[in-house]
Structure formats: C-alpha cells, structure tokens
C-alpha cells in the first residue's frame, strides 16, 4: 500500500468514526444542529472574518470534545460493561469536559451575536 492509499484509508477510518458517533450519539446530533444554526446566523448577521474564525474554532472544539467523550464512554463500556464507580467517574469527567466546552462556546456565541441582534432593532 502506497502513502496516498494509507492517507486515504486513514481519512476513511476517521470519517467512519465520526459517522458512527453521529449515528449513535444524540448529543453529537444536537451539537451539529446547533452548529448549523450558528453558521446560518453568522451568514444572516454578517459576522466579521475574525468572528467566523472564532465560531469555527468553537464548533470544532465542542465537536472534538464530544467525539473524545464518546470514545471514552465506548472504551469504558468495553473495559467494564457492568456498573462500576470508578468507570462512572471517568465517564462523568469526560461528560463534564463536553459541558464545560459547550458553556464556554455558548458564552462566546452570545458575545458575538447579541450586539448584532440588538443592532437590528
């Protein structure tokens, strides 16, 4: 297998991982839906290049953290399929990372969009 084929195969694995997570995780679907709404709002409210950059980084950050959380949860479930206090704590911490990133991103979104919405009135 040559380098190009290996790169294509790596992308294929990564895209499959994203697709599998998307199919199985409601929260990931919610993040994607909210992201689409934010992107639409960005177009409608004519946000600046710097604001677009910030929004794109925030979207990528939250979805990345959600994907990592999903991977941790699935791995934890393989390691210990039964209820386990320590595994539960690991999963709670990973979920907390998603929540923390989503709250931070929401605050950034409000800072960007509220003045633009207020300016409409």
Kindly state the average pLDDT of the residues 12-31: 95
The answer on pLDDT for 96 being more than 90 is yes
Rounded Cα distance between 39 and 31, Å, is 12
* Percent of all residues in the chain with a pLDDT value above 90, rounded to a whole number: 93
Kindly state the average pLDDT of the residues 113-118: 96
The answer on pLDDT for 15 being more than 90 is yes
DSSP string, 93-112: HHHHHHHHHHHHHHHHHHHH
Structural domains for the chain: 26-119 (1.10.287.3610)
**What does the mean pLDDT of the chain come to?**
95
Rounded Cα distance between 29 and 48, Å, is 27
Rounded Cα distance between 59 and 102, Å, is 9
Rounded Cα distance between 21 and 15, Å, is 10
1 falls in which pLDDT band (50, 70, 90)? confident
pLDDT tens, position by position, 38-86? 999 999 999 999 999 999 999 999 999 999 999 999 999 999 999 999 9
Kindly state the average pLDDT of the residues 92-96: 97
DSSP string, 57-75: HHHHHHHHHHHHHHHHHHH
What is the model's pTM?
Answer: 0.90
């Amino acid at each position: 297998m040559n380098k190009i084929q290996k790169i294509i195969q790596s992308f294929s694995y990564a895209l499959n991982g994203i697709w599998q997570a998307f199919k199985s995780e409601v929260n990931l679907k919610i993040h994607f839906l909210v992201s689409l709404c934010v992107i639409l709002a960005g177009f409608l409210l004519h946000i600046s290049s710097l604001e677009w950059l910030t929004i794109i980084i925030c979207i990528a950050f939250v979805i990345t953290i959600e994907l990592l959380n999903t991977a941790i949860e699935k791995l934890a479930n393989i390691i210990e399929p039964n209820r386990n206090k320590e595994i539960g704590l690991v999963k709670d911490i990973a979920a907390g990372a998603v929540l923390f990133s989503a709250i931070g991103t929401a605050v950034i979104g409000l800072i960007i969009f509220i003045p633009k919405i207020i300016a409409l009135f």
